[in-house]
């Protein structure tokens, strides 16, 4: 049989219908090249399929990055491990590949004073996991508690929790800022219990467990939440001075060193 001929218009319609926009954009140039260079038909098809797949993977990654709500600047590349010697870079890099701890639904807990780098480190792990193909959601704990509380009032809590199941990891930032009087925080316990041993959490908190009695409605629930969280967990304690404060004082010291008189800034202004 004679091979049928197709014009650009009908090709465009078919590719549109098939939802193959990248091939739609590229096929005509590649077809010309293929004609000129005498490619096999399978080569032309293979090249076009590869481009469609690569473009899809790129778009998926962009979608996952956007839905994560992670700060794009807080990555492993911008995190200085030198200022937190108690955090093993090798350990963090291993966790950043995901794999077994995410499959176990394990937890990462980051404790430390304000400015120690907990949110940055959590975000950096989140970005690396997205790069590795996982889905991540980062949220202030209080914000998620409010949303879940609203869902409970609308009798939608189970479906709200089920929707969060699509995330391999939820980063709950600043858990210890949540106050039981601010909202009914038993929804937070329900999230923890729901994900236990199935889906992972990464939690940052200024206060280690001892301060969590202010978070949950009663001590029994606090114990039950902590019990689940620590069962399969990695804990990093970033007990360092605030990064911002340290940078500010480094800058000040550097300025002092530059002054010819080296004792006070007043001397410099009179020069």
Quick check: helix, strand or coil at residue 261? coil
Residues 90-149 that bind Mg ion (CB under 5 A): 119
Residues 189-208 that bind ligand ADP (CB under 6 A): 204
Residue 171 within binding range of ligand ADP, rule CB under 6 A: no
Q: If 0-12 CB within 10 Å is exposed, 13-18 middle and 19+ buried, where does residue 65 land? A: middle
* Per-residue tokens: 38: 């005498």
Which listed option, Mg ion, ligand ADP, none, makes contact with residue 195 (CB within 5 to 8 Å by class)?
A: none
Residue 117 within binding range of ligand ADP, rule CB under 6 A: yes
Q: Kindly write down the DSSP assignment for every residue of 205-241, as one continuous string.
A: ESS-GGGGGGTSSSHHHHHHHHHHHHHTEEEEE----
Residue with token string 């202010």: 214
What are φ and ψ of residue 7, in 5° steps? -90, 165
* Per-residue tokens: 265: 């800034």
CB nearer to ligand ADP: give 106 or 116.
116
Which listed option, ligand ADP, Mg ion, none, makes contact with residue 127 (CB within 5 to 8 Å by class)?
A: none
CB of 82 to ligand ADP, least distance (A): 7
Interface with ligand ADP (CB under 6 A), residue total 17
CB of 107 to ligand ADP, least distance (A): 17
Binding site for ligand ADP (CB under 6 A): 74, 78-80, 83-84, 112, 114-120, 204, 243-244
Residue ranges in contact with Mg ion by CB under 5 A: 119
């Amino acid at each position: 049989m004679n091979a049928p001929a197709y014009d650009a218009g009908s090709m465009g319609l078919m590719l549109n219908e098939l939802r193959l926009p990248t091939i739609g954009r590229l096929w005509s140039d590649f077809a010309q090249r293929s004609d000129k260079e005498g490619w096999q038909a399978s080569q032309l098809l293979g090249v076009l399929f590869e481009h469609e797949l690569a473009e899809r993977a790129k778009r998926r990654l962009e979608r996952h990055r956007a839905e994560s709500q992670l700060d794009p600047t807080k990555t492993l590349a911008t995190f200085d491990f030198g200022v937190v010697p108690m955090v093993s870079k090798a350990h963090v890099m291993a966790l950043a590949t995901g794999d077994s701890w995410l499959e176990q639904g394990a937890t990462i807990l980051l404790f430390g004073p304000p400015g120690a780098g907990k949110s940055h480190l959590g975000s950096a792990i989140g970005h690396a996991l997205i790069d590795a193909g996982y889905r991540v959601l980062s949220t202030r704990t209080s914000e998620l508690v409010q949303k879940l509380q609203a869902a409970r009032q609308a009798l939608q809590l189970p479906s709200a929790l089920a929707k969060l199941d699509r995330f391999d990891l939820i980063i709950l930032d600043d858990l210890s800022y949540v106050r039981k009087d601010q909202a009914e925080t038993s929804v937070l316990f329900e999230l923890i219990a729901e994900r236990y041993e199935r889906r992972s959490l990464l939690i940052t908190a200024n206060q280690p467990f001892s301060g969590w009695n202010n978070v949950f409605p009663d001590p029994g629930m606090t114990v039950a939440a902590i019990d689940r969280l620590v069962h399969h967990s990695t804990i990093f304690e970033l007990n360092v001075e605030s990064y911002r404060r340290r940078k500010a004082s480094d800058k000040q010291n550097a300025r002092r060193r530059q002054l010819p008189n080296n004792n006070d800034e007043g001397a410099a202004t009179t020069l």
